[in-house]
Structure 1
Amino acid sequence: MAEITAALVKDLREKSGAGMMDCKKALQETGGDVDAAMDWLRTKGLAKAAKKADRAAAEGLVAGKIAADGKTGVLVEFNAETDFVAKNESFQNAARAFAEVALTTSGDVDAITAAKTASGEVVSDVITNLIATIGENMRLRRAAKLSVDQGAVSLYLHNKQGDDVARLAVLVALEGPGDQAVLGEVARKIALHVAGTPTPPLALTSDELDPAVVAKEREIQTQTAMESGKPREIAEKMVEGRIRKWQEEVVLLKQPFVMNPDQTIEQLVAETGKQVGGAVSLKGFVRLALGEGVDKKADDFAAEVASMTGGA
């Protein structure tokens, strides 16, 4: 019998798409023979994940949790192929469990995937088993975590699909002394703003904007100014003004507060500091919209139906 090494388990896992513990068991059952272990996994229905790995998973849920002390919050995006599966109780429970795990880890996808749920199952194995059971490709795509030493982290779920799960979720962290309930409520209102404002913020401050995004906007504004026929020196001044205006539109602290457009988010935070009797700062925010940025192939489902019905 061959020794069941970590490298052997890793090799089988990559070939089969099955969970680590399932791969180890398969190798133990087959004396370390990888080909026989693949067959063993297939008979158990655990090698299905590999066949589905190239199918777009753009539906699903965003799950959010706030720690009991109100100072830490997490979001996880758990994807499947169809919104029908997103309504499945097992899928929703898994998303909630992954959010709970995120609270106990660094909050990144790799750490969550390698950790265990409250029931003792490794997250990656839970996903693999769900794929085998439900029959759709799934993945834990994104995760985020915010914490404060003092203050509050609040969560807003938009278009909720059940307890703690939605299609859009926002976390906001307010750091500062004073009444945590007051800070938590203001953070919740800012989270609602982030979810509902017509122009979703790209960064907390101008300095935190992605340089590539700024360069792209500058390029667009430069081309627009030059096409207007203005002299270059005037065009360049026009561009700088337009970039400043654009930054005010996409930087959270500079945006008009949706509940009071006469007040910016920055002014709201300053006012909150006066209310609680200490300096308050907006430490960060995270906005996760389900499927955002996923290159979903529109013909995936149609092609599968055609193959099942004998159509072209």
Structure 2
Amino acid sequence: MNIQISPHSVKELRIKTGAGMMDCKKALQAADGDMEIAVENLRKKGLASADKKSTRLATEGIIDSYIHIGSRMGVLVELNCETDFVARRIEFKKLAKNLAMQVAACQTVFYVSIDNIPQNIIDREIRIESEKEDIINKPPEIKNQIIKARIDKRLEEMCLMHQPFIKDQKILIEDLVKQHIALLGENIKVRRFQRFVLGEKLDLS
């Protein structure tokens, strides 16, 4: 017999996941009212749905902006989807705004994903890690393992998709985008972003 789920709990789960009301109610019933388990199960379903759509062409979308308090820093983000209809959805616009805010908050992020990092940047990071004093005298096999782990971590730190969402540290930006793919039923891609800092790179000589 299904347990009784309050409308408040259903609404809370919907806010957390973006899933439909009935899906949220069923997920809570299946999880015996446990919010965390329900969230996890919905995300699993949502991510599976999102992965199927990730290869579809996304040529519509919007460019959104975020200007930080004090107007000394701003961000532009281009977010793509498949149709103009989804581009006009409030959920899509909110995602674009959240992504712009995320870029503003993450000063060490310069690329959308690891695939976007130029090879010369990767080579530079490998060179820096290879020359660190704490691994110079380690056996080659162990040294290579340490370097790989450090490089993987460093590259993730440079990419937007691998950052914990500033409004919910339990999920990554990659997961946030996939949740919206599942919610809106279209492929969604973060194409590019640009951060502007007042006075940056000014030649004061």
CA distance in 2, matches of 1:212, 1:179: 35
| Contact kept? 1:183, 1:272, Cα under 8 Å | yes
Percent identity, aligned pairs only, is: 27
Match of 1:241 among 149, 160, 178: 149
CA distance in 2, matches of 1:291, 1:231: 47
After superposition, the C-alpha distances for 1:67-97 in whole angstroms (9 at most, x for unaligned) are xxxxxxxxxxxxxxxxxxxxxxxxxxxxxxx
Higher helix share: 2
After superposition, the C-alpha distances for 1:86-122 in whole angstroms (9 at most, x for unaligned) are xxxxxxxxxxxxxxxxxxxxxxxxxxxxxxxxxxxxx
Aligned-pair CA distance for 1:241 = 1.0
**Map of 1:169 onto structure 2:** 74
Question: Residue 225 and residue 255 in structure 1: after superposition, are their counterparts in 2 closer, same or farther (change >3 A)?
Answer: farther
Aligned-pair CA distance for 1:170 = 0.7
After superposition, the C-alpha distances for 1:11-41 in whole angstroms (9 at most, x for unaligned) are xxxxxxxxxxxxxxxxxxxxxxxxxxxxxxx
**Map of 1:192 onto structure 2:** 101
Question: Residue 292 and residue 213 in structure 1: after superposition, are their counterparts in 2 closer, same or farther (change >3 A)?
Answer: farther
Amino acid at match of 2:95: V
TM norm structure 1: 0.43
Gaps of 5+ in 2: 1-57
**Map of 1:286 onto structure 2:** 194
Question: Residue 291 and residue 216 in structure 1: after superposition, are their counterparts in 2 closer, same or farther (change >3 A)?
Answer: farther
Gaps of 5+ in 1: 1-147, 161-165, 298-312
| Contact kept? 1:168, 1:287, Cα under 8 Å | yes
Aligned-pair CA distance for 1:220 = 1.5
Aligned-pair CA distance for 1:243 = 0.5
| Contact kept? 1:175, 1:280, Cα under 8 Å | yes
* 2:137 aligned with 1:229: yes
**Map of 1:183 onto structure 2:** 92
* 2:68 aligned with 1:158: yes
After superposition, the C-alpha distances for 1:31-68 in whole angstroms (9 at most, x for unaligned) are xxxxxxxxxxxxxxxxxxxxxxxxxxxxxxxxxxxxxx
| Contact kept? 1:151, 1:184, Cα under 8 Å | no
Within 5 A, what are the aligned runs for 1:47-126?
A: none
Aligned-pair CA distance for 1:295 = 4.9
* 2:159 aligned with 1:254: no
Q: Detail structure 1 runs of 4+ shifted over 4 Å in the superposition.
A: 225-228
Higher strand share: 1
Question: What number of residue pairs does the alignment pair up?
Answer: 144
Aligned-pair CA distance for 1:183 = 1.0
CA distance in 2, matches of 1:189, 1:237: 36
Amino acid at match of 2:193: F
After superposition, the C-alpha distances for 1:156-198 in whole angstroms (9 at most, x for unaligned) are 01134xxxxx32111112211425232111100110011012x
| Contact kept? 2:62, 2:87, Cα under 8 Å | no
Match of 1:205 among 108, 113, 122: 113
CA distance in 2, matches of 1:238, 1:205: 22
**RMSD of aligned alpha carbons:** 2.1
Higher-Rg member (1/2): 1
CA distance in 2, matches of 1:294, 1:234: 44
SS at match of 1:159: coil
CA distance in 1, matches of 2:157, 2:164: 9
